[in-house]
Amino acid sequence: MKGSLRSKVTTGLAWIVIIGSFVLSYQMSRHPAHEEHEELELPSFVHILGGADPHHFLAQKDPLFGVSLEEWIPTIMSILVGVVLVGFSLWATRRMEKVPRGGQAFAEIVVEGLYNFLGEMLGPYTRRYIAFFGTLFLYILLMNLFGLIPLLHSPTNRINVTLSMALPVFVFYNFEGIRIKGIKYFKHFIDPLFMAPLMLPIHLIGEFVRPVSLSVRLFGNLTGEDLTIALLVIMTPFLFGFIPVPVHLLMVLMALLFSTIQATIFTLLSTIYLSEAIGAQGDDH
C-alpha cells in the first residue's frame, strides 16, 4: 500500500511538472519577452500578480528600500526555500520514534549520508560542523532545484545570492582556524619563512579569491541551466506549431543532476577550506 501511494505521489508530481511546462510554453508563445526586459527567464508567480503588464508591476520601487519588486524575487524565493526546509524539519521531528519511519526515516538517511560525506574531510570534527555544512548543502540544493518547478525561480542564478553564502563560509573557516590554532593559524601565510615576502601576497590573494570562485562557479552554472531551459521553452511553440511539446524536459532531467553536483562542489570546497584551516587531517596532510 505504501509503495502504491509513493508511486501515485511521484506520478502526480511528474504530471504537475509536465502540465506546468505546457502552460509556460503556451504562455511564452502568446506573451513574448518584453523588449526592455534584459534577463531571459521564465515567469514566476510574482509575475502573474502583475496581471496584463507584469513588467510595469515589477518595475515599481519599494518606497522603504528603493528596490524594485523584480529585485525582490530572489529574496522571496530564498525565504520560501528556508520555510520549506524548516517546515519539513519540524514535520519530520514532530514525533521522534526509536524505529524511524516516514519523514523521520528520510531525514535520518539524509543526515547520515551528510555525516559520512563530511567525515572523510573533517574526521573527529564532523559532529561539530555537520549542522553548518549540512544546512548549507540542503539550502543550496533546494535553491538550485526551485528553478525547475513551474512559476518558481532559482535564487542561486543571482551573484549576490551566491556571494551571500560564500562570504559567511570565508568568515567561518577563518574564524574557526584562529579559534583552534590561535596565532599559529597565520603561519601558513608565510610558509616557508625564507620566502615570506613572496609567499605572503600569493597566499593572501588565493585566500580572498576563494569566496569569489565559490560564488561565481555556482552562479554561472545555474544561470546557464536557467537560460537553456528558458530558451527551449520559448523555442518549443515555434518548432511544433501551436502544440507546445515540452522539449526542454530532457534539460530538466540533466539540471537535476547538475544542481546536485553544484551543491556538492560548493559544500565540498567549503569543507576542505575548513579542514585545512583547523588541521582536521593533520598538519602534514
Alpha helices by DSSP H, the chain:
2-30, 45-48, 54-58, 69-92, 103-122, 126-146, 159-181, 196-239, 249-278
Domain of residue 61 covers 2-278
- Res 40: pLDDT: 60
Whole-model pTM: value is 0.77
Within a domain: 285: no
Q: Are 156 and 140 in contact (CB under 8 A)?
A: yes
Residue stretches of the chain with pLDDT short of 50: 1-3, 5-6, 9-38, 284-285
In a domain, 284, yes or no: no
If one counts the domains in the chain, the total is 1
- What pLDDT sits at residue 35? 39
Per the domain annotation, does 283 fall within a domain?
Answer: no
List pLDDT tens digits, range 129-142.
999 999 999 999 99
CA gap 100, 80 in Å, rounded: 27
pLDDT of res. 32: 43
The pLDDT score that the predictor gives to residue 281 is 66
> What does the pLDDT read at residue 128?
92
Q: Output the pLDDT for position 64.
A: 61
At a CB cut-off of 8 Å and minimum separation 6, what does 9 contact? none
Amino acid at 247: V
pLDDT number for residue 3: 46
SS3 41: coil
Asked if residue 272 is part of any domain, the answer here is yes
**CA pair distance 205, 277, nearest whole angstrom:** 16
How would DSSP label each residue in 102-133? THHHHHHHHHHHHHHHHHHHHGGGHHHHHHHH
